[in-house]
Amino acid sequence: MVDSEQPPPPAVWPASSHGFELVRSEYVSESSSHVALYRHLASGAELMSVRNADENKTFGVTFCTPVHDSKGTPHILEHSVLCGSDRYPCKEPFVELMKGSLNTFLNAFTYPDRTCYPVASTNLRDYYNLVDVYLDAVFAPRARHDPDVLAQEGWHHDLARPEGPLKIKGVVYNEMKGVYSSPDAVNARSITQELFPDTTYHHDSGGQPSAISQLSFEEFRAFYSKHYHARNARLWFSGDDPAERRLEIADAYLSRFAAADGERLSVEAQPLWTRPRAVELPYAASA
């Protein structure tokens, strides 16, 4: 819980430290928090540092991930980056953290326009470990050079027996088959897609089953390289942990990138409608 009394501010937000420059800072009375926005000079990444009396320390890294098809690349990547990395080469570090850490929150989310990786813990040592595992996962995942990860988390052909039928399987593929078997889910997705036909929201970032099986490893790797560059990343830290240590931790990963090699992506605006439009779309008859 956040203390109702205003916490003492950091003596001074460092104007520059560990490769970051201070963009601006302010006090947010609603959450009794001192907030600073930093920009990483080498990579162009942005970092929001929130200092308050909350012992439940939180961290997250978010990437802008708009799409131009419904192959589910952001969703598959969200699963895939948590399947081992350079520093943590075990098969499922996410599962190991769920079993062995003191986390108060541990998850990842795919939205139509962004992908988020948040963690939280009240134990400082555990918190730093969670942050490091997640930073290594998004910036140095095994998935960027191992096609087996895409096959496992995205899709692959499965032949149970030589004379049997050839089937498509995969974690995300199977998950989205379940989603598209629900008329309510199809209806909700269709409304958004038809309201925003000229934007990323017209496509399903989670993936349509028929489109997921069209995703190649080359497309998968290219999407990662473009969207998971540090310049396209926004990081945040919040809680009672040392403010300058946050910059040091982030710089260890961000300093590997050059801003000139990446781009900060954005989401286009949908032009206003000038007249009503009726749409009829199919859904699973057996749902």
- Report the distance separating Cα 96 and Cα 116, nearest Å: 20
* Residue 9 covered by a domain: no
Domain annotation covers residue 7: no
Catalytic residue among 5, 30, 46, 78: 78
Domain carrying residue 93: 17-261
Which burial class, exposed, middle or buried, applies to 244 when counting CB atoms under 10 A from its CB (0-12, 13-18, 19+)? Answer: middle
Q: How many domains does the chain have?
A: 1
Is 4 inside a domain boundary? no
- Kindly state whether residue 142 falls inside one of the protein's structural domains: yes
Q: Evaluate the CA torsion angle 116, 140, 152, 207 in order and state its sign.
A: positive
78 is catalytic: yes
Residue 118 lies in a domain: yes
CATH code, 255: 3.30.830.10
Q: Which residues of 134-164 are buried (b: 16+ CB within 10 A; e: fewer)?
A: bbbbbbbbbbbeeeebbebbbbbeeeeeeee
Tens-digit pLDDT profile for residues 11-33: 468 888 999 999 999 999 998 99
The token duo for 146 is 């191992």
Asked whether residue 276 is domain-assigned, the answer is no
- pLDDT at position 230 over 60: yes
218 given a catalytic annotation: no
pLDDT at residue 8, as a whole number: 54
The catalytic residue among 153, 163, 175, 263 is 153
139 in a structural domain:
yes
The average pLDDT across 204-217 equals 97
Across residues 53-76, what is the average pLDDT?
98
Q: What is d(CA 28, CA 52) in angstroms, rounded to the nearest whole number?
A: 10
Residue 12 lies in a domain: no
- Angle at Cα 242 formed by Cα 239 and Cα 246, nearest 5°? 85
- Tokens at residue 11, please? 């003596």
